[in-house]
Amino acid sequence: MAMIGVDVGGTFTDLVMHEPETGRIVAGKVPSTTGNLTEGFVQGLDRLPVRLDRVRRLLHGTTVATNAAIERKGARTAGIFTSGFRDVLAIGTGQRFTGGLFNPGFRRATPLIPRSLSFEVRERIDHRGREIAPLNQRDLAEVAARLRDVAVEAVSICFLHAYANEGHERAVETYLKDRVPNLFVCRSGDVLPQIREYERFTATAFNAYLGPVVERYLSALEDRLRGAGYGRDLLLMTSTGGVVSARHASRYPVSTVLSGPAGGVSAGLYLGRALGIENLITYDMGGTSTDVCLIKNLRPAFAAQRIVGGLPLRIPQLDINTIGAGGGSIARIEADGSFRVGPESSGAVPGPACYGRGGEQATVTDANLVLGRLSPANPLGGSLTVRPELARSAVERVAEALGLADVHRAAEGIVRVAVSNMASAIREVSIERGEDPRPFALVAFGGAGPMHGCEVAQSLGLSRVIVPLYPGNFSALGLLVSDLRHEFLRSHLTLVEEADLGTVAGLLRRMGEEGRRLLAEEGAAPSDTDIHYVLELRYRGQAHQLGVEVNPGNLTREALAADFQRLYFDTWSYRPDTTAVQIVNLRVTAVGKAPRVSLAPPTPEASGGEIGEAPKQVRRVYFGGDFHDTPIYERSRLPLQARLLGPAIIDEEGATTVVPPQWRAEVHPSGHLFLHRR
């Protein structure tokens, strides 16, 4: 029974099929079909040598939610708020953050729910979950009537203290479900049952805003797949690097904001484990964007909060940094004379100028073609043919605008600017987080990553780059090795000394059981299931907590307080003059382990360091202001442990690795390509 990972990006749809029984791996790439993404998905599947009824695991990474969130193309969304609090989303923290502190031009991102669609209902719950004012039925009826009038697709129910008592929110949900048809309804006590209204309401608003878009996409996709014979759950990558059923993702679309890029992190982690390399930076450059993430001690970085479309999103998520730099990024001269590459992209259609589909503007891919780094016979996506003369005239226009006589210098300038943008993205997740990136290995993948990996590494002072097997399909491969994963978080404020530990254990168990149930539905065997229980604790009077791993079967006040005090001292190096410890959040992670995938190197024709017949040709390639005679190799014909010096180009299906003059390359016994600075 096969497994298939499908990673749909802005430009290409990448697929990987794996048969654990035979160890066979098949990779494929088709252009993404903008406008109707399911089309490309299914076309890609058609090319794989397997029938869908023989597939036991179909995994998917998608940028549908990401794009809708960033481009603000989500559903028309209304909000229902506790009376007096409809502006919580607009007021936020009242600060100028995300670079606004000294910026008189600062603009706060517009809330996802416009004020004209923000409705209020009289009701009130207090911090202990007690009702202060009952839910006003007349207000509710009025709001329901208004919702029908204003024609919204989604509604977000946001009541104060709903983490402590979901009763009122639930009642509104039930009321609306019966009376307003075709409405995506979600509520704060369900999406993120955590204290702090602004962050909870924002996550809930995101969920509603993305709901109809993601739901429509996934249900169309599942229909197509069912029609094609796939009878099991489609599994969706989430922002934590774990997968969940499409059904679950449709209900919590906010958790799929990083669905696209998370596969690459998962793959990087898998690679690090397989090679025994603990510190890596994943660098995934596709046609539209670049995603980077730090993996330290084989743990990917998590972010407490990420800014998505200008708004703070505080859900469990990887710390992935995305910028608009890809093979299709367009080079432009701005009105003020500055030279920019990206974030605008030519996308799949029309694509770079060299595709000859009507694209006129020079892109990073065109520049690489002009420089001779990209082989005309081996463009991204294999099946395409490219026209170098179109690339050349597009880059000539840039050279003219820049006042450069030499088209090659302009082309190299385009690549340099893109490289510098990507290096900055890595700085942000390393140097700016206090992490020196230089000891890390850069894992370069995606259609365009291996082409720029060495230059990106060089500009950051890294000396090692790894181009994995199947670099053009590495994210899709990452889907195959990802665990099923559900995260639950619930605020439950009580002092440890006063806590009813039976209740706490009961809540933890219930969350764990919910996790088990979801995992079982998604096909995980109980023996492959792990549940982790964590209590987030703090000293009474503090606002921030530390997580202590617990066993709900064995909770004691003494052990909890002692474990917390020890952890606190280890973290902050002092003990405050208080012993009152408070439970704040209950956190449960349910993991269903992925089946093992072993990545054998594709049958090399020889081994032992002899390159032998491998070079297929020599081409003049432009590096650092001059042309160099550069051997062009075919990766599949390079024997294991083969060593070669730059400059060199290594072509393969779906990607091109550029080894610049100061670098050398070696085919590692595992089949992955290791590049070192000389």
Partner 1 sequence: MEAAGHKPVDPILVEVIGNRLQTVCREMLVSLIRAAFSTNIKERYDCGTGVFDIDGDQVALAAYPPLHMGGMRGIVRLLRAEYPPEEIRPGDMFITNDPYVGVSTHLPDPVLVAPVFFSDRLAGFVASVAHHADIGGRVPGGQAPDSRSIFEEGFRIPLVRLFADHKPVPDIHKILRTNVRNPDEREMDLRAQFAANFVGIRGYQEVCQRYGDEVVNGAGRAWVDYSEARLRDKLRQLPDIVCSHEERVENDLDDKPVTFRVTVQSKDGLLHADFEGTSRAFEGAKNIPLSATVATVWMVVKSMLDPQIPASEGAFRPLRVVAPPGTIVNPVPPSAVGERALSCQVLADVVMGAMSKLVPERALAECGPHHGINISGINPRTGRFFANHESFAGGMGARRTKDGVSACRVHIAGSANLPVEPLEAELPILIRRYDLRRDSGGPGRFRGGLGLRRDIEVRADEVRVTLRSERQMIPAFGIGGGAAGATGEFILNPDTDRETRLPIFVSNRRFARGDVISVRTPGGGGYGNPRERPRELVAQDVRSGYVSPAAARDIYGA
SS3 537: strand
Residue 159 backbone dihedrals phi, psi, to 5 degrees: -110, 150
Query: Is the Cβ of residue 221 or residue 303 nearer to partner 1 in the bound state?
Result: 303
Q: Name the residue among 592, 608, 621, 595 with its Cα closest to residue 530.
A: 592
> Shortest Cβ distance from residue 143 to partner 1 (Å)?
16
> Shortest Cβ distance from residue 31 to partner 1 (Å)?
39
Query: Is the Cβ of residue 149 or residue 629 nearer to partner 1 in the bound state?
Result: 149
Query: Is the Cβ of residue 431 or residue 507 nearer to partner 1 in the bound state?
Result: 431
Length of the chain: 678
505, two tokens = 């254990």
Strands (E), 204-328: 234-237, 243-245, 280-285, 290-296, 299-300, 306-308, 311-313, 321-323
> Shortest Cβ distance from residue 84 to partner 1 (Å)?
4
Is residue 281 within 8 A of residue 263, CB to CB? The reply is no
> Shortest Cβ distance from residue 154 to partner 1 (Å)?
19
Contacts of 263 (CB under 8 A, 6+ apart): 5, 7, 61, 237, 475, 476, 477, 478, 479, 482
Query: Is the Cβ of residue 175 or residue 198 nearer to partner 1 in the bound state?
Result: 198
CA dihedral 477, 478, 481, 483 (to 10 degrees): -150
> Shortest Cβ distance from residue 105 to partner 1 (Å)?
6
325, two tokens = 């730099």
> Shortest Cβ distance from residue 571 to partner 1 (Å)?
9
Interface residues toward partner 1, by CB under 8 A = 84-88, 90-96, 99, 101-108, 114-116, 126-127, 132, 160-161, 195-198, 431-434, 436, 493, 539, 541-544, 572-574, 576-578
Instruction: Please state, in angstroms and rounded to a whole number, the distance separating the CA atoms of residues 629 and 561.
Output: 68
Is residue 154 within 8 A of residue 208, CB to CB? The reply is yes
541, two tokens = 């009077």
The residues pairing with 333 across neighbouring beta strands, listed in sequence order, are 339
SS3 409: helix
Query: Is the Cβ of residue 107 or residue 138 nearer to partner 1 in the bound state?
Result: 107
Q: Name the residue among 349, 346, 382 with its Cα closest to residue 366.
A: 346
Query: Is the Cβ of residue 437 or residue 671 nearer to partner 1 in the bound state?
Result: 437
Q: Name the residue among 13, 10, 1, 18 with its Cα closest to residue 482.
A: 18
Query: Is the Cβ of residue 569 or residue 613 nearer to partner 1 in the bound state?
Result: 569
Question: Pairing mode, if any, of strands 321-323 and 290-296?
Answer: antiparallel
> Shortest Cβ distance from residue 108 to partner 1 (Å)?
5
Q: Name the residue among 47, 62, 40, 38 with its Cα closest to residue 16.
A: 47
> Shortest Cβ distance from residue 198 to partner 1 (Å)?
6
456, two tokens = 């990106």
Query: Is the Cβ of residue 249 or residue 546 nearer to partner 1 in the bound state?
Result: 546
Query: Is the Cβ of residue 87 or residue 400 nearer to partner 1 in the bound state?
Result: 87
Instruction: Please state, in angstroms and rounded to a whole number, the distance separating the CA atoms of residues 425 and 248.
Output: 32
> Shortest Cβ distance from residue 202 to partner 1 (Å)?
12
> Shortest Cβ distance from residue 671 to partner 1 (Å)?
35
Query: Is the Cβ of residue 463 or residue 641 nearer to partner 1 in the bound state?
Result: 463
